[in-house]
Amino acid sequence: MKFLTRTIWLLSLVSLFTDLASEMLYPVMPLYLRSIGFSIVFIGVLEGLAEAVAGLSKGYFGQWSDRLGRRRPFVQWGYGLSALSKPLLAVLAAPWWVFLVRALDRLGKGLRTGARDALLADEAPAAQRGAVFGFHRALDTLGAVLGPAAALLWLSHYPGQYRLLFVLAFGPGLLAVVITLLVREKPQPPSGQPIRPFWASFAYWRRAPASYRRIAGALLLFAVFNSSDTLLLLLARQQGLSDQAVIGVYIFYNLVYAATALPAGLLADRLGPARVLTGGLLLFALVYGGATQVHSWLAFGILFGLYGLYAAATEGVGKAWLSQLCAPTDKGAALGTFAGLSSLAALGASTLTGLLWQTLGAPVAFGLSAAVAGGVALFLGAAARSHSA
């Protein structure tokens, strides 16, 4: 695979170690937050607000990266902030402190995301962009396999000892920061666009091509009803799985995701991204529609395996598609804007799902998400047929 350049490898390794650090904590976070008194609604609001911080910053720093024609500084500082946030979670258990640290982590994600994705797109041949993003997602998600496995090993020896785990997660995060120092970037012409105020982070949307707005708009509608995976993990726990089983099915999800991300990208390059995305969203609808109806670890294992296939068929494929619908000098703004709006949508999604769950029950909350995913899949399927006609 000659299209996998040194820069693509390094960025993928950075994501692997960062995700290892983050995913040591991610499946543990809902369990930890419940242990210190957080309600389901508050967990949903916390996750949504944290993603909103990332959302407000992704578009802003993406356009700033385009304006300067530089990517690497944003990547380095972004990963640095995320690494620093991990041990800070162990300092206090107060809700305001947990929010501040989660916000710092998400600010780091916002700082790096648009620039990193643009750097990947800059390195990728146009005909193999799906494969490049798929490869990056594969290594990123391999970290999401190793991280929960490390957390499971830790909790099997030290049950309930969550806070020291936050300190241990600093190690792989720091290694990721060191690797960013080895990344080189190709010179890019500055976009010529002015740096807009922070609150105008999404100004690119107004000047984006209609095709970009149409596809991004459909995916954002889905994002409004796609709540944090934290709530899906809480549902598995509520349906009868033990802490270890919850982490176990989450590891399996990430293992399937890592194994299929590159094949999904290659398939999207061959068949077109719309068809692959449509299949992925239909899988999401199946998982969310069925999750409230099962109780065994085997059934949840099957659903989380299908959930891994959904993630592989949508995450990197969507970015690769959108990067083809914008001007070369606007990649940072285009990908950062979409990532940012997706994060803002997550604020509404996690809050809405948490409220619906608390007031009307889990079947209504998760069933609504499944229905919207099915509708967006039909739209993308129709778009694929009309394009090929």
Res. 331: pLDDT tops 80? no
Predicted confidence (pLDDT) per residue in 157-168, tens digit = 877 677 788 888
Between 51 and 200, where is the model more confident? 51
Query: Under a CB-based contact definition with an 8 Å cutoff, are residues 81 and 111 in contact?
Result: yes
Read off the tokens for 378. Answer: 């039909």
Which domains, from first to last, does the chain contain?
6-183+209-388 (1.20.1250.20)
Tell me the average pLDDT of the chain: 81
pLDDT of residue 232: 87
Predicted confidence (pLDDT) per residue in 96-137, tens digit = 787 788 888 888 888 888 788 888 888 777 677 778 887 888
Instruction: Tell me if residue 182 falls in helix, strand or coil.
Output: coil
CA–CA dist 233, 180 (Å, integer): 32
> Exposed (0-12), middle (13-18) or buried (19+): which is 159, by Cβ within 10 Å?
exposed
Overall average pLDDT of the 4-30 stretch: 83
- Say if pTM beats, i.e. exceeds, 0.75: no
Instruction: Please list, in sequence order, all residues whose beta carbon lies within 8 angstroms of the beta carbon of residue 37, skipping any fewer than 6 positions away.
Output: none
pLDDT of residue 201: 57
Query: Degrees (nearest 5) of the Cα angle 13, 16, 20?
Result: 145
pLDDT of residue 389: 45
Query: Under a CB-based contact definition with an 8 Å cutoff, are residues 216 and 322 in contact?
Result: yes
Res. 388: pLDDT tops 70? no
pLDDT of residue 1: 62
Judged by average pLDDT, the poorest of 230-234, 285-289, 299-303 is: 230-234
Between 374 and 210, where is the model more confident? 374
CA–CA dist 112, 369 (Å, integer): 29
pLDDT of residue 310: 94
Between 185 and 74, where is the model more confident? 74
pLDDT of residue 284: 94
Nearest CA to 108 out of 47, 51, 44 is that of: 51
